[in-house]
Amino acid sequence: MLKYQQIAIEIESYIEKHQMQQGEKLPVLESLMKEFKTSKSTIVKALDLLEKKGIIFQVRGSGIFVRRKKRNNYINLLSNQGFQKDLDQFNITSEMLELEIQKPTETVAQNLHVDMDQDIYYVKRIRYIEGNTLCLEESFFNKAIVPYLNNEIGTSSIFRYIEDALSLKIGFSDMYMHVGKLIDQEASYLQLKGGDPKLTMESIFYLTNGTPFDYSKVTYNYNQAQFYILGTGI
């Protein structure tokens, strides 16, 4: 664990433990430097990390203040802000519908940057949140990167498997979202009606070295599709 990450975690825990409210002031840089026995830059880097996560905001000439979101029951759209902790606060389970090795369609081949004759893992799941249908998810994994998947991995967390068991490092993602109407087949999976609203999210996930390994298309139940984003900078 790097020093600045460790410091960030400790400051965040401190805020949590003391139930600090929006606008409450944290100790000044000078104090933090002494407390953590480190240089100014390292503290600044830790604080920048917390600012990016939406935990604090810094005001030049004034101080460092706590920032807190106000609503629960909303899911964080940028999981990097919450280090996956956010989804853990909900009880999310998966039901596997299909899991097989396929050749990619043209769209999939393009998004995963593979040839049409390479193998792809196709995973189709329904995900539940607190027992309600959250979304229908179709994912395509580049088999050259994720050589093996099974039912057990699919019903728990594929990403955790990729990071822990395959020790690959996930880097960044492109996400595209739009709103539309459910077709009958989608509706039946989500226990809704054809023509009901849907939120579709297409994502491409990359390893830290820039290789795309997962293209996924997720159709959300509009009753559960509640997201928040803590924006930094306008």
Partner DNA sequence: CAGTGGTCTAGACCACTTC
Partner DNA sequence: AAGTGGTCTAGACCACTGA
Of 43, 47, 112, 55, the residue nearest 86 (C-alpha): 55
What is the DSSP code string of 176-199?
EEEEEE--HHHHHHHT--TT-EEE
> In this complex, which beta carbon is closest to a copy of itself, that of residue 131 or of residue 210?
210
Six token digits for residue 67: 């920032």
The answer to whether residue 179 forms part of the interface with a copy of itself (CB under 8 A) is: yes
User: What's the DSSP call for residue 208?
Assistant: T
> In this complex, which beta carbon is closest to DNA, that of residue 81 or of residue 221?
81
Candidates 35-43, 67-75, 174-182, 196-204 — which segment interacts with DNA by CB under 7 A? 35-43
Query: Which of DNA, a copy of itself, none binds 159 (CB below 5-8 Å, type-dependent)?
Result: a copy of itself
Q: How far apart, in whole angstroms, are the C-alpha atoms of residue 173 and residue 69?
A: 24
Are residues 102 and 119 in contact, defined by beta-carbon separation less than 8 angstroms? yes
Query: Which residues 160-199 are close enough to bind DNA by CB under 7 A?
Result: 169
Query: Which of a copy of itself, DNA, none binds 175 (CB below 5-8 Å, type-dependent)?
Result: a copy of itself
Query: Which residues 2-31 are close enough to bind DNA by CB under 7 A?
Result: 2-4, 26, 28-30
Q: Which residue has the tokens 């100014």?
A: 40
Ramachandran sector of residue 9 (left: φ over 0; alpha: ψ -120 to 50; beta: rest): alpha
> In this complex, which beta carbon is closest to a copy of itself, that of residue 22 or of residue 156?
22
Q: How far apart, in whole angstroms, are the C-alpha atoms of residue 173 and residue 214?
A: 9
Candidates 4-12, 31-39, 126-134, 195-203 — which segment interacts with a copy of itself by CB under 8 A? 195-203
The answer to whether residue 127 forms part of the interface with a copy of itself (CB under 8 A) is: no
Q: How far apart, in whole angstroms, are the C-alpha atoms of residue 192 and residue 213?
A: 31
Q: Which residue has the tokens 């997962």?
A: 214
Query: Which of DNA, a copy of itself, none binds 16 (CB below 5-8 Å, type-dependent)?
Result: none
Binding residue for DNA (CB under 7 A) from 208, 226, 229, 232?
208
> In this complex, which beta carbon is closest to DNA, that of residue 34 or of residue 193?
34
Residues of the shown chain interacting with DNA in the complex, contacts defined by CB under 7 A: 2-4, 26, 28-30, 37-42, 44-45, 47, 58-64, 169, 208-209
